[in-house]
Chains A and B, each alone.
Chain A
Amino acid sequence: MSPQNILLILVSTPLVVFLAMSVLWLLGGHMPEQAISRITKAVYAILTIGAFILGYKMWQSGVTTLRVSLGDWFTVAHYGFPLSLLVDRLSFPIVAVTIILAGVVGSFSVRYLHRDPGFYRFFLLLHLFTFGALLVFTADSLDLLIGGWEIVGITSVLLIGFFQYRMDPARNALRVFATYRVADLFMLVAVFLAHHWFGTASWEGMFSGEWPGHVHNLQGSAASISIIAVLLVFAASGKSSQGPFCGWLPRAMEGPTPSSAVFYGAISVHAGAYLLLRIEPLFRVSWVATALVIFVGLTTALLGTLVHRTCADAKTSLAYASQTQLGLIFAEIGFGWTTFAIIHIVSHAILRTLQFLRTPSMLRDHHRVHAAAGGKIDPTGEHLEALFPRGIQIWLYRFALGRGFYDSILNRFIIAPLLWGARMLAIFEPGWEAVGPDAEQHASKSETAAS
């Protein structure tokens, strides 16, 4: 089998499994847990073998970049939506890690979610997510990448709201979705501006040579390159919970632990870093984008490490730890240490998956270590704090405890004015009730729903 066909099978298999399971369910059918478990394990075992064969074949033939062009998805006049997949030195390790970790999490979830009412739903979404993630990492253009990007986003939100019979997951899923949509807006604008200014949004059209390559002689000016790079930095920040979008990751911990592992430890959060690595040649042209990505990365890392130290629950603490590492990865990319960033991404994904999956057993692990150490474990994590004066320590503690006051700032300066404006727009509707008890009742309901 040719490497091109293997790549196609790798990407399309999770989609086929998802579609088959969906149709079966919608037609009233059901699949027992054991069957789902076997199918999932078999699929990921095959995909893992396929990924290794693909890597071996590419290595054997000395090919570092493999493209599979499937023509255009649809065409109208001069515009065509290109369907082209790409595996190269950047995407192969991340594709392999995605497949392996999704398989590990799938296998873990069989027992973790045993007899859960949402068992079937979880595996449906897991397969859809894997497809979306593989599409992101193998897309040969921004057009196709955005397809996978949004699929990853919606599956993430649906898994945050997995425990749908509780209020908090529902509220947090909505907040995460809103954050994703705002961040995705930057990506969409960047894609359309790339078409508008460069006449292309494909990697091949924008960059020359093998990854990382160089920027082609694009039609746009340096300013247009900068604008697109900055927009993509914001889009990547949204997916990786960085900078102005750093508030959603702790909220995403409402989902089941395996989904937290695969999304917020392993794969989904690294998609932003992957995007930055992919467009790295743009940074070399735009110092504004470079400075922005370093600033966003370092400030988020600082905030993450502070808040991480004051979190009372394990998963939130891990979420902030992830955010810290992602901030550092962003900074590495900004400094141009791309190979180091890839190694960081892969190792961080593996370690964090293990930590998330062990979270439910954390107390047991602690007791075991505690017993093994003879009942004496030295406290850790206070070395850095001790370097600061007492007054600053207290201030930092208050700042970290309030999680950087991120939610308060967001609610007061963005959400509240937006909702006020939205309510004011009711003046164009008959029977306007912006003033009065009914309006206040509805307004309070809106705020409850929005918050």
Chain B
Amino acid sequence: MEYLSLPYLTAGVAALFAGALLSLRSQKPRATAIVAACVALLSFLLAAREVIVAGHGRLFDPLLRCFEADGLDAVPMAFYAALTLVFVVLAPRRDASGSALAGMLLISLATQITYAAADLVTLTAGWWLTSLPFVLRLFGVQRSQKLSQGFLIASCVALTAAVVIMHTTEIEDLSHASMVAFGLIILAVILRKGVFPLHGWMLSAFEKGPLLPTALLFNGHLGALLIARSEAHALPQAARHALDILSTVAIATALITSIRGLAENRPRRLLALLCVSQAGFILAGIATANAEGITGALLHWLVVSAASTGLICIVRVLEVRVAGVADPASHLGLAVKAPRLATFFLVCGLALIGLPGTLGYCAEDLLFHGALESHPYIGLALLVATAFNAINLIRLFSILFLGVLPKHVIDIPDALPRERWPLAACAVFLICGGLLPGTIIAWRSEAAHVMEQALGVESH
């Protein structure tokens, strides 16, 4: 058993926990949350660096051995910590109360626990914890949140049942999971990720729930993590058939939500449809079972997280500044007043749909090649979904930023310095990653290789 040189994972998780507690009581909750998020980011970055330098295998935390980092989760951990920082910094003042920031740090904490879990019990604990801030109503009382909370808890119950079955039958890891247990895991993923036909709760959560915490929850991509973990553990043949079904459902989700978006005008719902559709690509890519497809999916995971964070934060910032953004009667023409926000929106959006020169293009190129190699129909369906998503994105951009400025919008500030730097960081990541993708692909290729081998060995 190999260990990290220092307990970085414990330090990161502890920083988030302490940050959440202190934010509840602090006079300056945003400053407290930023410090906690920065410490967590540094810890997870150092852990990721050690894992990348080590090259292969799992490195356990020397203090809490229920935590480990490997090629699959080390980069997403550091990346998610960075996203948490972005959310905390970008949250408008009305979303940055002590309890709201504590809630966001708790979501981050729970997601990191799930990523770092060395066993299924810890993973399940993290999975449950992600729902806690919503159940405790740390983000205030929201309209129609019972549905989304119900789905979150149902997902937790399904995963717990799977773990209980595995433990009662004395099965230690996923390689020997019974079909029932694996079926429950798939169900947990479907419920959690909002896979068709159960994607409705995600739209409802985006539209009626607290936008930034919901986005933070969504960007954990825990469903994809669970499937990736399952693949990395050489699944039995029967389970792979279930994975094939899951990939088909993921494609259906990507395609159907992209088409559904054509008839949607409300920015939050349109964003949700875009994000759910693009997230469907990740599951489909993981199920391709070849290096190109899996690497593309793992890369797309980062792209979706960074790009959707930028898009969602900009929409929230505009909602706070301009009345009527939630359900615009017509085009809002905000580019005149907020050209930089419009530019950041466009950059993030175009990266999400895979414009050449951005990281999204590399991810989608790999994904499509992998998909066409293994299941051509998946590749073709993904291409169609990308086309519709691109149209949806430009429609959303058009609704928000083009057209005649409403009379009630007299003057709104463009991107504030506090907002400019995090958005610039997202844009730089997406563009520089696209121009020089080799480094980022190298971060993910190890995990892709492990997963491909696990599937390849089993299939032979």
> A residues within 8 Å of B by Cβ?
25-28, 73-77, 79, 81, 143, 146-148, 150-151, 154, 157, 161, 164-167, 169-171, 173-174, 177-178, 181-182, 184-185, 188-189, 192-193, 195-196, 418-419, 421-423, 425-426, 428-431, 442-443, 445-446, 448-450
Contact = CB atoms under 8 A, between A and B. Distances in A.
Best-surrounded residue of B199, B329, B340, B369 (most CB of chain A within 10 A): B369
B373 A164 contact: no
Contacts of A426: 260, 263
B369 A192 contact: yes
Contacts of B290: 77
A175 B196 CA distance: 28
Interface of B: 144, 147, 196-197, 199-201, 203-204, 256, 259-265, 290-292, 295-296, 329-331, 333, 335-336, 340, 343, 350, 355-357, 361-362, 365-366, 368-369, 372-373, 376, 379-380, 383-384, 386-387, 390-391, 394-395, 398-399, 401-405, 420, 424, 427, 437-438, 441, 445, 448
Contacts of B379: 192
Contacts of B263: 419, 422-423, 425-426, 442-443, 446
B391 A169 contact: no
29 contacts: A73-B437, A76-B295, A76-B366, A76-B445, A79-B366, A79-B369, A143-B365, A151-B357, A164-B403, A165-B333, A166-B404, A167-B403, A169-B402, A170-B398, A181-B390, A188-B383, A189-B380, A192-B379, A193-B372, A195-B369, A196-B376, A418-B259, A418-B262, A423-B263, A426-B263, A428-B196, A428-B199, A431-B144, A446-B263
Contacts, number: 157
A195 B371 CA distance: 12
B416 to A, nearest CB: 11
Given A428-B197, A449-B399, A77 B333 contact: no
B409 to A, nearest CB: 12
A254 B48 CA distance: 50
A166 B403 CA distance: 5
A143 B399 CA distance: 32
A26 B383 contact: no
A165 B387 contact: no
B343 A174 contact: no
Nearest to A434: B263
A185 B354 CA distance: 13
A164 B350 contact: no
A445 B267 CA distance: 13
Contacts of B264: 422, 446
Contact of B402 (A146, A170, A195): A170
Contact of A74 (B390, B427, B438): B438
Contact of B265 (A77, A171, A178, A445): A445
Contacts of A423: 263
Best-surrounded residue of A74, A79, A450 (most CB of chain B within 10 A): A74
A184 B387 contact: yes
A431 B196 CA distance: 16
A154 B366 contact: no
Contact of B398 (A161, A181, A188, A418): A161
A446 B262 contact: yes
Contacts of A148: 356
Contact of A76 (B291, B329, B361, B424): B291
Given A26-B340, A147-B356, A428-B200, A196 B259 contact: no
A135 to B, nearest CB: 9
B415 to A, nearest CB: 9
Name A's interface SS.
helix
Contact of B405 (A165, A177, A431): A165
A181 B384 CA distance: 9
Best-surrounded residue of B365, B386, B395 (most CB of chain A within 10 A): B365
A421 B258 CA distance: 12
Given A76-B445, A154-B355, A450-B262, A177 B203 contact: no
A336 B290 CA distance: 42
Best-surrounded residue of A28, A181, A182, A193 (most CB of chain B within 10 A): A181
A429 B203 contact: yes
Contact of B200 (A79, A143, A429, A449): A429
A419 B203 CA distance: 19
A165 B404 contact: yes
Contacts of B336: 164-165
Contacts of B380: 189
A428 B256 CA distance: 10
Nearest to B401: A164
Contacts of B402: 161, 164, 169-170, 173
Best-surrounded residue of B261, B395, B424 (most CB of chain A within 10 A): B395
Given A76-B441, A195-B372, A430 B391 contact: no
Nearest to B438: A74
A157 B394 contact: yes
B365 A81 contact: yes
Contacts of B333: 164-165
Contact of B343 (A26, A430, A445): A26
B356 A151 contact: yes
Nearest to A192: B372
Given A76-B295, A181-B391, A182-B387, A425 B260 contact: yes
B402 to A, nearest CB: 4
A76 B292 contact: yes
Contacts of B372: 192-193, 195-196
Contacts of A443: 263
B191 to A, nearest CB: 14
A386 B330 CA distance: 47
A76 B261 CA distance: 33
Contacts of B330: 448
Best-surrounded residue of B331, B335, B383, B394 (most CB of chain A within 10 A): B394
Contact of B390 (A77, A81, A146, A177): A177
